[in-house]
Amino acid sequence: MDISRYDEVIQNLITDMQDSRGKDPRVSISCGKKLLEYGIKNSQPELIGFARFSMGETYYLMNDVDNFYHEMTQCMEPLEQIGEWGYLTMANNLLGIVSLNRGNAPLAMDYYMDAINYCYEYSLPDLEFLVHMNLAALYLDIADADNAIYYYERCRRYLDKHSDIEGYINSLTAICVGLGKSYLLKGDIKKAEDCDAVIEDRCMGSASMLDLLVIYTFRARLGLSLGQRDETMRCIEIIDRHFSDELPVMDIFDDVYDFMRLLLEIKEYDTLVHMLKLMEQPVDTTGIKNLQKKLLTLKMKYQKETGQTEAYEKSGVEFFELSQIMDQENDRMIRDTIALRNRYNDLSVLTNEVRRENEVLLKKSETDPLTGMYNRQKLNTYGDVIFERARKNGRWLAIEILDIDYFKEYNDNYGHQAGDRCIRFVADAIMELKNNKGVFCSRYGGDEFVIIYEDYDDTEVFAMAKRLKERIVEMAFEHKYTKVPVGVVTISQGIFWGIPENGESLWNYLHSADNNLYKVKKKSRNSILLSRYSKKDAAGVQKEEMMTDE
């Protein structure tokens, strides 16, 4: 978000809100309300969307679900208006988490899919990774181990390529624990042990208290599956000693709940009662009836197993009341979601119409009206993108500039309309090259064209250029006034090929290709000259090599 456009008061509010994120919720909420008031008063959707999203995120961290849900659903319309796709992705992701905690897996999946669609459409790989993590957790929650493993593995492959991201250890821990639990669900203990080995080797040394809680809940379950009760009891003791009710409930509930189910299975009642007491207050704070119902279910099972008949009956009444409230809550949530989607869809229709109009205008501005090819403006913008990509990845890049031989003579003798047909004829032949991946074609001006070959070696580039030249000759477009003996339209081509280095630019390659075209036209038209750099010679000098066709 660019805050420089606002006055100092608004800039300070935004800065204070960002600085207090996750540290001082009172400051975050106070600043958010002031920003929201200002945004509504001055009809500025960017401030409305940002304020509501930031307050919603703060309420999430505070375990205040009702306020979170209100702010996060309300932020989506203004964010859509201004095209803040990253914030919209994060909003849908968080709504998915809360919907799953509320016990509505289909609605959670709906939010996650919306988030994924934004990631695909607007190239948001970092956010896509986070959503995939939550999708994996959803499948694990509904005991679909195969799909959980699929998404966790996708996340692990991404993480392997991005070891420098913030929270790397936390993410790796979550992935390995999720995979381990999924394999345990499938009965594949060996692969679960492999996950634990990765945790021990790469996570334990830098794990946070939250990471350690997640790790030991998994290890307790793994120890039981291996028949190592002593290891299970050791993990239980560590968790019981270090567990805090100040941890973010919605982030850890699934792990803690699974741990408490394990305690019930092995009849570790004292620790179970302790954990239930620690969890009750923070879960009540969230207001999420589904989480309260899950805790109550465990409590009732414990009361039944230990013969606490009176307490069990009392809990049964509470369970019934919770179920009724949950039914009402789900009905309200569905109504709110439908209303939100209707507003959202109406806005999306309008936004898409505007977007399509803008795309048409943009395409017109980037397209040569005579040939339908990209024009010089598109070459200047997209060419820089291609060049920078090749430089960054150390890939080969070739720039070709070509023109029509003796085009002035053609135009003067056949007329301008015929000249336009001749240019279209050559352009159509060039455009066939677009069938090759990584080939960009544009009209440079007049009878000149530019072709960019991305990630092809010099021999491949020369072969494609030569085939283009031969194809144009084979099509025998008459040119009686050419000085090329074949008596048909021909082209001359200058190409420069290399691996872009720091300090070079697209212009350097264009200039070198243009020089090669000049040499061709000066010496012998209807030819190709491709220059490239060889390795340094004994004196350390880069020597230029040529590839010609005459």
309 vs 245, more confident: 309
Answer yes or no: is pLDDT of 14 > 60: yes
Determine, yes or no, domain membership for 380.
Answer: yes
**String of DSSP letters for 62-105:** TT-HHHHHHHHHHTHHHHHHHT-HHHHHHHHHHHHHHHHHTT-H
**String of DSSP letters for 151-199:** HHHHHHHHHHH-TTSTTHHHHHHHHHHHHHHHHHHHT-HHHHHHHHHHH
**pLDDT band of 542, cuts 50, 70, 90:** very low
Determine, yes or no, domain membership for 428.
Answer: yes
**pLDDT at residue 452 in the model:** 95
Measured between alpha carbons, how far is 106 from 452 in angstroms, rounded to an integer? Answer: 47
Lowest mean pLDDT among 196-200, 263-267, 539-543: 539-543
Lowest mean pLDDT among 92-101, 363-372, 393-402: 363-372
Question: Collapsing DSSP states into helix, strand and coil, what is residue 530?
Answer: strand
Question: Collapsing DSSP states into helix, strand and coil, what is residue 227?
Answer: coil
Determine, yes or no, domain membership for 173.
Answer: no
**pLDDT band of 543, cuts 50, 70, 90:** very low
- The total of structural domains in the chain comes to 1
What is the domain extent for residue 522? Answer: 376-549
49, 87 contact by CB (below 8 A): yes
**pLDDT at residue 315 in the model:** 86
- Count of CB atoms situated within 10 Å of the CB of 378: 19
Answer yes or no: is pLDDT of 356 > 70: no
Measured between alpha carbons, how far is 69 from 67 in angstroms, rounded to an integer? Answer: 5
**pLDDT band of 1, cuts 50, 70, 90:** low
Answer yes or no: is pLDDT of 208 > 70: yes
For residue range 433-474, list pLDDT tens digits in order: 988 888 999 998 889 999 999 999 889 999 999 999 999 999
Average pLDDT, the chain: 84
- For 108-136, letters b (16+ CB in 10 Å) and e give bbbbbebbbebbeeeebeebbbbbbbbbb
Q: What is the pTM of this model?
A: 0.55
**pLDDT at residue 478 in the model:** 93
**pLDDT band of 193, cuts 50, 70, 90:** very high
Taking the CA of residue 292 as centre, how many other CA atoms within 13 Å lie in the half-sphere pointing to its CB?
19
Determine, yes or no, domain membership for 220.
Answer: no
Q: What average pLDDT does the segment 95-120 reach?
A: 85
399 vs 363, more confident: 399
For residue range 43-98, list pLDDT tens digits in order: 888 889 899 999 999 888 887 877 888 898 888 888 888 888 999 999 999 998 88
- For residue 271, the one-letter residue type is T
Length of the chain: 550
**pLDDT at residue 448 in the model:** 93
Determine, yes or no, domain membership for 474.
Answer: yes
For residue range 312-341, list pLDDT tens digits in order: 888 888 888 877 777 666 666 556 555 555
**pLDDT band of 365, cuts 50, 70, 90:** low
Determine, yes or no, domain membership for 101.
Answer: no
Answer yes or no: is pLDDT of 394 > 60: yes
Query: What CATH number corresponds to the domain at position 543?
Result: 3.30.70.270
